[in-house]
Amino acid sequence: MLKLNFREWKLPADNQSKNDFDIVRSILLSTWLDTYSKIIPPEELKTYLNISCSNEKLEELLNDRFTKGIIAEVDEKPVGWLRTNINQTENKFYINQLYVLKEYQGKGIGKKLIKIAEEEALENNFNKIWLGVMSDNFPSVNWYKSLGFIFEKEEPFKMINTNVNHLIGWKEIHK
């Protein structure tokens, strides 16, 4: 049986949280290459990661009181990443990133991360969680639909030089 643990980034940005930057980048790079390299050239994925997940960007996120990061660990090995955000302008609760390493998918880790996001949304008085997923990422789209997400619109998303379509969806949640 897997020994599963979830660890939250804490404020202020302490040394442990800053040490997690490499862990987050590693999870993102591995899952992005596994998931998106048929849609987006791998070099663009790497460039986008370097831009969007620099130490400065991650520290900004870590210090944003409306953003939360959770690292999932199995037997003390980091295997998943969840980032949520309360969008003040739209008054919506978002799952910005949810990734589980390929070899750990299908073990319920993603569902537990969704549950953590749902609990956080409810604690902040939201009854819906929102997310975006690339429309060509059929396994993820189908997985989210199986969890009750409804996709109501499609928006373009540009990653360096590649344009992809992003489905925007939500799921109603209850206590």
- Per cent of the chain over pLDDT 90 is 80
- Per cent of the chain over pLDDT 70 is 94
pLDDT digits (tens, 9 = 90+) for 138-169: 999 999 999 999 999 999 999 899 999 999 99
Domain limits of the chain?
4-126
Cα separation values, 69 from 37, 60, 127, 154, Å: 25, 12, 20, 26
Where on the phi/psi map is residue 107: left (φ > 0), alpha (ψ -120 to 50), or beta? alpha
Q: Is the pLDDT of residue 16 over 80?
A: no
Secondary structure element (H or E) that encloses residue 17, with its range:
helix 15-36
The DSSP code sequence of 38-60 is: TTS-HHHHHHHHHHHTSHHHHHH
pLDDT of residue 8: 86
Which homologous superfamily does the CATH classification assign to the domain defined by 4-126?
A: Gcn5-related N-acetyltransferase (GNAT) (3.40.630.30)
Q: Is the pLDDT of residue 20 over 90?
A: no
pTM metric for this prediction: 0.92
pLDDT digits (tens, 9 = 90+) for 110-127: 999 999 999 999 999 999
Q: How many CA atoms lie within 13 A of 174 on its CB side?
A: 1
**Which string of b and e fits 26-47 if b means at least 16 CB within 10 Å?**
ebbbebbeebbeeebeeebbee
